[in-house]
């Protein structure tokens, strides 16, 4: 069983994919963390993220692994980078890194190897279109830019809307997150290699007005239906 969950940043993909994996006893694969890890390794080694040739070398040599409960810890060449890949610096470097076709080729090959034995919920931008076009379940999870910015802002302040743990957020900070998100959306959707788009056979779910449980419930239903169709 391969479950592909794509969508823009802040749509709630990660929390949803992780929970679906837990409930359906599948392995969670965070492909965004892989691109972030390559960006991190470039910064660590003084490689300019805009230098396509050197960035591709880093990507081809990178050993990215997931460990710990639910595959939450991210290891890049043996170093635990789980927190280090979430900084604003990495966030800036990851756009040119993930737009590099040679980097994508290396990452897609690693992702396909992870899916070889099946039993995976993979989350990203091109999972249903490029990485696993034959996935049994494909979901495109989206939400309005405002809803996504709000979620990110609450997360940065230690809250978690998925779990109903809201916190007070500064309006200016939320505005800055919204601007950054709109800029990244435009970049991810317009890049030449694997732009973010909905696979023709994906089920679109808009999480703006839905609770976390409802979204997870819908995806789990799709997984159960696909399992039923197999047997």
Binding site for ligand DC (CB under 6 A): 9, 31-32, 35-36, 94-95, 98, 124-126, 184, 188
Q: How far is the CB of 156 from ligand DC (least distance, A)?
A: 13
Cα atoms found within 13 Å of the Cα of residue 20, Cβ hemisphere only: 34
Distance set, CA 52 to CA 39, 56, 104, 121, 184 (Å): 12, 6, 11, 30, 19
Angle at 137 between CA 6 and CA 59, to 5 degrees: 45
Q: How far is the CB of 35 from ligand DC (least distance, A)?
A: 4
Complex with ligand DC: residue 31 or 207, whichever CB lies closer: 31
Complex with ligand DC: residue 9 or 142, whichever CB lies closer: 9
Complex with ligand DC: residue 18 or 36, whichever CB lies closer: 36
Q: How far is the CB of 201 from ligand DC (least distance, A)?
A: 18
Distance set, CA 79 to CA 16, 27, 40, 61 (Å): 26, 21, 11, 14
Q: How far is the CB of 193 from ligand DC (least distance, A)?
A: 9
Complex with ligand DC: residue 176 or 225, whichever CB lies closer: 176
The rounded distance, in Å, linking the Cα atoms of 3 and 1 is: 7
């Amino acid at each position: 069983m391969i479950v592909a969950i794509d969508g823009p940043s802040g749509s709630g993909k990660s929390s949803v994919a992780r929970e679906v994996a837990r409930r359906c006893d599948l392995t969670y694969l965070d492909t965004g963390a892989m691109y972030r890890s390559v960006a991190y390794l470039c910064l660590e080694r003084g490689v300019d993220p805009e230098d396509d040739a050197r960035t591709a070398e880093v990507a081809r040599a990178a050993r990215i692994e997931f460990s710990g409960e639910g595959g939450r810890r991210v290891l890049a060449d043996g170093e635990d980078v789980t927190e280090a890949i979430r900084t604003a610096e990495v966030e800036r470097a990851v756009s040119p890194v993930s737009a590099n076709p040679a980097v994508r080729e290396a990452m897609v090959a690693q992702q396909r190897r992870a899916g070889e034995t099946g039993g995976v919920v993979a989350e990203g931008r091109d999972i249903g279109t490029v990485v696993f076009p034959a996935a049994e379940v494909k979901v495109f999870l989206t939400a309005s830019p405002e809803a996504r910015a709000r979620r990110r802002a609450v997360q940065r302040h230690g809250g978690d809307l998925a779990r109903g743990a809201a916190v007070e957020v500064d309006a200016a900070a939320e505005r800055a997150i919204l601007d950054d998100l709109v800029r990244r959306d435009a970049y991810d959707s317009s890049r030449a290699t694997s732009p973010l788009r909905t696979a023709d056979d994906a089920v679109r779910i808009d999480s703006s007005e839905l609770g976390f449980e409802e979204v997870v419930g819908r995806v789990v239903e799709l997984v159960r239906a696909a399992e039923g169709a197999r047997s």
